[in-house]
Chains A and B, each alone.
Chain A
Amino acid sequence: MAAASTSSTADDQTSRPSHDTDTPLDISVLKEIARKGLVDALNAVNGAKTLVLDPSLAGPLGLVTEVSLLKHHGVDKMFWLEPGPLSATTTNIVYLCRPMIKWIKIVADQIKRHGRESQKHNYTLLLVPRTSTLVSRILEEEGVLGDVTISSYNLQFIPLAEDVLSLENDWAFKEIWVDGDETVIFNSMQALLSLQKLYGLFPRIVGKGDYASKLANLLTRYNQGQGTTAAGKVSSEKLDSLVILDRRVDMITPLLTQLTYAGLMDELIGITNSHMEIPISLLNASTAPPAASGPSTSPSTGTSVPVSLSKEKKKKHHLTTATDPLLSELQDLNFSAVGKKLNSVARRLDEDYKLRHQATTVSQLRDFVGKLGGLQSEHQSLRLHTGLSELLVPQTRTEEFNKSLEIQQNLLASYDVNNQISAIEDLISQGADMQVVVRLLCLASITAGGIKGKTLENIKRELLQAYGYNYLPLLLSLAAPPLAALLPNPLPPTAPPALTASKYPFTALRKSLRLLIEDNEIEELENDISYVYSGWAPISVRLVQCVAQKGGVLSNPAEKEKKGGEDGDSKKGKEHSVGRAQAHPIIGWKGFEDVVASIPGETVDLVQSLPSSVEGGVPALSSLMLPREQSTTTVVFFLGGCTYTEIAALRWVGRQNKGQKGGGKKKLTEFNKFMQTEIARLKEENPDLPHKERFKQVVDNWNKKKEKDKA
């Protein structure tokens, strides 16, 4: 760390990835690819063009490109793809959208309208991520197929942070588990394939869940198909395995309230495509010169903030660690620790500012001025986050919030389930937020293995009466087989076998995977992934640990010193070899086969070998077992989205593995987290509703951007 002695902001940023200094996977190249793809697609249409954009793509696109780039490539004007006439001045009109029927119908309608008004335009339809027969069929049915050139823009993984990639497909969860539309799986497969093209073949694919296994099988099948043609394929040096988890494997985690800083912001304010809407005053203040006001004078609106929140003009803010030095420190902290952290940062900043009084010599002054830029930006972000947490605090104090937390904790501990359900009923009568209620209900159903038939009917009736009968389809899809998140107990004898099979062995898992940590100090200690939910370890991340950090599942690595070898004796003689939660070679589910098998859904454990290597698995496996000096990356792919808490937990696991360098084996596992949909939760509860809302935000986002560019 010799170079880091000049503590500027730049170093603050790199200090976070410094825990993966060895060879972090460089994923910024993916952004370049996405950008280049867009430019190529646009340049294929000659001359000035009008771009008509699917609003749901605006967010993802905003992460890879900016409006000026589009302008530079001949985009004259941009419009939202929305019903109604389109008035374009250029002859070329480029539509950019996902191949969804509703978009295509709008496109067809606009083209027909132009036809009636005898306007001549050249239409190009760019479909993301690939073209579709369905689209051409619909255009044909609408009678405009001949007028449109259809091509594709292959937008795949978008880097959200240096260790997080996303396909930014907001509908993934609903499409897979409610509609049964597996397009997302196929697209994920293609995206993973291109990832493999960049970084080499995943040596091993481990997965859990029916759709995860589908994805894994597709991936290996296409690898074989391409294996002969792409001769240069090699097993990746940098990746050690791909862990695919489908959301169905762990439905509990997203139903809980996320308790990390980023998680809470998402819960209470909402983060879409890494952007969130926050009161403009927060941002404006943060751009003001720091000398004007100290951290103490930041807007102390106190309890009235929630009210003003709804009224005040809001602005999109891009949450990224690249420009926000504090975010990386804060985002994964349990919210209870955020205040303390902010306080300490404020103190440190203050100290740093005070240095100027001690600067007696010219060179000291120069040093200070050199640091000033860093200090200022740190200052700004400190102010932003103080403001944000002040926004959050009152909301975490509401009765509804605390009640639902309490119910969650009790349900997880299976403590007095009946009482919890009547508590939920109370929430309904109090007119609590519909999503909160449904989340709690599903949680109750999953953890308790169903709710008593009569009670369930009663509570469903309450729900429908309180929130409207049009939620009946929602309740039905929640009870339908692929989701099975809201079930009566016992199941009616006529229930399809799919339902009976999907029963979640929660109580057994809680024990075998050490899901619930009773110790109250843990949130402060952060010595187990459970800190992200104040005592609950996300099943998904435990499963990842089962693959990559087996010791961490059994015992708390940080407490290891104190307790010695006694904990973990529940498992067969493993505790000696894996005494500490150190990284180890990826050997699949070994050691946890029984546990994993007890979770509904198929289990995958495939070794991907090169077509040339003889006899597949055996040599590849043994080569994997060799201790390697180089650190490798385990890729975790959540099919159907994941939460910020899970990201935080995975980062913790990654750090932990790194920290245990002294162990016998040197191989380190750094986690990259791939999330497919940023916000899975909402969709889960509400397959039909919340998109409109999100949609609006995105529109705003881009409108703002456009304004900014014009200015």
Chain B
Amino acid sequence: MEPDHPTASWEALQDGNVFYRRHQVYSISGKLPDLGDFFVAGCRYGGPIALMRDTTKMVALGRATAAFSKTQIQIYSPAGEGLLLFSVWDQGKIIKFGWTFDERLAVLNEEGAYRLYDLQGDYQQYSLGTEASELGILDARIHEAGLVALTESLTLLEVKGWEGAKPLTLANPGLTQPPHSWAVIPPDLTISRHVEVLLSTETTVYSVDNLETTDQRLSRGPFTHLAPSPNGKSLALLTFSRTLWVVSADFQRSLADFDTSDVIGVEGDVRQVEWCGNDAVLITWDTTAVLVGPFGDTLQYFYTGPTFAITESDGVRVLGPDACDFIQKVPVSSVSVFRPGSTSPSAILYDAWDHFTRRSPKADESIRSIRPDLAAAVDECIDAAGREWEPYWQRRLLNAAKFGKAFLDLYNATDYVNMGQVLKVLNAVRFYEIGIPITYAQYTQLSPAQLISRLTARNLHLLALRISEFLSLPSSAVLKHWACAKILKSRPSASASEPALDEDAICGSIVEKFEKVGGSGVSYAEIARKAWEVGRTDLATKLLDHEPKASDQVPLLLNMKEDRLALDKAVESGDTDLVYHVLLHLQRRLTLGSFFRLIEEGGAHLALASKLLQVYAREQNREMLRDFYYSDDRRVESAVLCLDEAVSSVDMTAKINSVKAAQKFFSEDKERGFEAKMMDESARLLQSQQQLEKEADGKISFFALSVNETIRVLLINGMAKRADKAKNDFKVPDKRFWYTKLHALTEIRDFESLDTFARSRRSPIGYTPFVRHLIEKGHHKEAASYVPRCDAAKRVDLYVECNEWRMAGKECKERGDKAKLE
């Protein structure tokens, strides 16, 4: 059976030039409670509604009593499915609730605290600050990107965004009594790009922003209803005398006046004044809704009970007791195609296709007639397809477009393909079980990614995943949400006896899914963090094992106080910076003792950490390093540390003490006897040097010289006796002593002493070094005198080196070496 023709739901306004249509999206009879008894907040873009009982209304006690005993908020999808039911907090009356752009419910209480609930009932809580909580909140307006609260002292507070930003105080309007009604124009719609608050007081309206209050000097007030249009350019005001007045946002141009008391058959108070798109206003009473067009012409709709209307950017959604309707101005493309008697190219194209399917030759004739406009006609058909709710008509329109496309030589089919995809998605989410009645226009505004995140927020992960794959969007966000939800859902319940198994299973299924879908962009660390937040440390740890990036693992492990594991992972990663991160973090948090123990117990595996700690501490925290070595009985390192200090200390006594301390450390280790002995010598040397300096009245500096140097300096300064004593004290071998003395005496050119020294006894180093050294220093003549004492075989060459050719010749002659003589 062919569905109703699209025009069946059209109703003409303005002498048949403009059409409005009411489309019943869902039939929801009996699914929603009586909206008259509730405060309601609706979310745009086909979002859900939230209901809280209006405590001023009487309720017939009955079976449902339990549900009303506490402050509860119920959330229903537009298709009437209950999504969530939760109790809000006990203390503090709830002032207002409303929806954010990302479909979270913001709930504000009189103490200035507000919570943001997602569709799973999880929330974040923020506050408007102490001042607000002392004053108390009287009322608030919540828009998609923030809220404006009216305090008991009639001042205004604004919160931008939903990240718990600090509230800003707006200009004080100077009210004496609460406004009759008020509204907020969101910042993205105003000229100033700041939020603008409209307060109806007495007969006029104040518009307030963060700088100033402007009195609009009106006389028609007070107003009972005040509604800005979706684009923020116009305002709809309802006076006490029931006159609807539509005016531009700056109150300069009056757009329409309509006396609602003219409407026949309405009774009681006006429930709502809502915009339908940007150019019509819907006024609702308990059982009636009247759509007022721009020129005061009206359409009237009837309901069986109280309704709730939600303004959308391209229409208005009305939830009644029986149905969820969408009322909108018929889009241009649809009018162009379907309007009876339309002669637009798109209408003719559609007609031609219709003929074609019926094998009528008129098809060709029609196509010919619109040949120049065919491309535009195709585009319009595609657009019109997007505006239809019924897949039947969508298909027909797309077919018509395809048909027209075939007659075009060059046509970019991207739009056509995209529209096909989008419609598939839209139809899927409009399905009543999903319940997101979003129009094409809204979809383009909302962005596909947002739509997907709305689906994941409803735990519709499979659909979200399919859609994101279908639209080739990254699926990582979906997977991440899925994993988090899975962790939450699988809260330890029946399997309490085998928790480990349970954790393994969850972890396994998550990993398996990720690998299968190829969500490489998903960070296991983020999911693990979630698991940890809900107190499932084991699971978190297991998940973290799959995180390839150690730099993501480690911070969480630290937060989880899994110190050892964090350190292990950091060391494994080989990233020294990460190791430092852990070490420095732990050093601050743990006591020194347990910190050291942690590192020491790691043994060889944590060697890197231990080494790095030493590197750091050597430069920055020697005290700690000392403790570290001490606690681990590392005597050698302790001693080296002492020596290090000895090198850097200038003061003699301090230096000697450091060396002695080192000596003590070495002596405690029986393996280090040699080192201890050396340090003992070193200390003795330093002390004797100190003594020497004292004797020399500080004219000669000895301190911290080596043994050789000390002897050299002594000799240079003519203290030969002292030098001999030093030689004996430090058991300097003869050879070394002779070389040192040779060098020293040559240096001061004391050749006489050198000669005596050489003759003092038989040289343990021979006399060749004498010759060579003297030559090297340029004392050829003196060198020659030692040649006779050298090995006979070498003498000739040595003479030559001394430039003593004659002596060399003589030597040769003596030895009868003819060959050398040459």
Contacts and interface: CB of A to CB of B under 8 A. Distances in A.
Interface stretch (A35-43, A293-301, A356-364, A469-477): A469-477
B577 A132 contact: yes
A466 B616 CA distance: 32
Interface stretch (A53-61, A181-189, A601-609, A613-621): A181-189
A138 B479 CA distance: 40
Contact of B643 (A183, A185, A426, A473): A473
A431 B643 contact: no
A455 B577 CA distance: 43
B130 interface: no
A154 B739 CA distance: 52
Given A189-B574, A225-B549, A229-B520, A469 B708 contact: no
A309 interface: no
Contacts of B738: 429
A130 interface: yes
Contacts of B607: 180
Interface stretch (A1-9, A258-266, A324-332, A456-464): A456-464
B736 A218 contact: no
Interface in B254-277: none
B584 A133 contact: yes
Interface string B566-581: 0000000011111011
Contacts of B678: 460-461, 464, 469, 472
B520 A465 contact: no
Interface in A161-212: 179-183, 185-186, 189
Given A102-B619, A473-B643, A465 B708 contact: yes
Contacts of B709: 468
A134 B619 CA distance: 12
A130 B739 contact: no
A469 B685 contact: yes
A466 B707 contact: yes
Contacts of A429: 733, 735-736, 738-739, 765
B721 interface: no
A224 B708 CA distance: 58
Contact-residue size bin, chain A (C-beta under 8 Å from the other chain): 35 or more
Contact of A460 (B610, B674, B679, B765): B674
A101 B580 CA distance: 13
A430 B575 CA distance: 47
Contacts of B704: 468, 470
A101 B584 CA distance: 14
Contacts of B520: 228-229
A182 B576 contact: yes
A245 to B, nearest CB: 18
A238 to B, nearest CB: 27
A468 B615 contact: no
Contacts of B614: 179-180
Contacts of B370: none
B740 interface: yes
Contacts of A138: 620
Nearest to A494: B671
A189 B577 CA distance: 14
B736 A101 contact: no
B444 interface: no
A181 B615 contact: yes
Contacts of A141: 620
A146 interface: no
A429 B740 CA distance: 8
Contacts of A134: 577, 580, 584, 616
A492 interface: yes
Contact of B574 (A186, A224, A468): A186
Interface hub of A214, A229, A429 (most chain B Cβ within 10 A): A429
Interface string B411-429: 0000000000000000000
A312 interface: no
A132 B580 contact: yes
Interface hub of A101, A134, A137, A426 (most chain B Cβ within 10 A): A134
A350 to B, nearest CB: 33
Given A182-B574, A462-B736, A225 B548 contact: yes
Contacts of B610: 180
Interface hub of B610, B679, B735 (most chain A Cβ within 10 A): B735
A465 B772 contact: no
B608 interface: yes
A214 B575 CA distance: 12
A468 B548 contact: no
A218 B574 contact: yes
Nearest to B644: A473
- Main secondary structure, interface of B, reads helix
B640 A476 contact: yes
A394 to B, nearest CB: 11
A473 B25 CA distance: 86
B574 A469 contact: no
B531 to A, nearest CB: 22
A352 interface: no
A443 interface: no
B322 interface: no
A469 B675 contact: no
Nearest to B685: A469
A492 B733 CA distance: 27
Contacts of A183: 576-577
A186 B610 CA distance: 17
B22 interface: no
Contacts of A133: 577-578, 580-581, 584
B44 interface: no
A428 interface: yes
A214 B571 CA distance: 12
B637 to A, nearest CB: 9
Contact of A472 (B575, B608, B643, B743): B643
A137 B644 CA distance: 24
B679 A469 contact: yes
B636 interface: yes
A465 B616 contact: no
Interface in A200-243: 214, 218, 224-225, 228-229
A415 interface: no
A492 B671 contact: yes
A624 to B, nearest CB: 27
B706 A468 contact: yes
B681 interface: yes
B612 interface: yes
A467 B740 CA distance: 12
B525 to A, nearest CB: 13
A468 B705 contact: yes
B706 A466 contact: yes
A399 interface: yes
A472 B675 contact: yes
Query: Which 9 interchain pairs have the tightest Cβ spacing?
Result: A180-B611, A469-B682, A429-B736, A101-B619, A468-B706, A465-B707, A183-B576, A133-B581, A429-B735
23 contacts: A105-B620, A132-B580, A133-B577, A134-B580, A137-B584, A180-B612, A181-B611, A185-B574, A225-B549, A229-B520, A430-B769, A460-B678, A462-B733, A462-B736, A464-B682, A465-B681, A468-B706, A469-B685, A469-B706, A472-B678, A473-B640, A476-B636, A494-B671
Given A465-B706, A473-B644, 16 more contacts: A131-B577, A134-B616, A186-B577, A189-B574, A399-B772, A431-B708, A457-B674, A461-B678, A465-B708, A465-B730, A466-B707, A466-B736, A467-B706, A469-B678, A469-B685, A473-B643
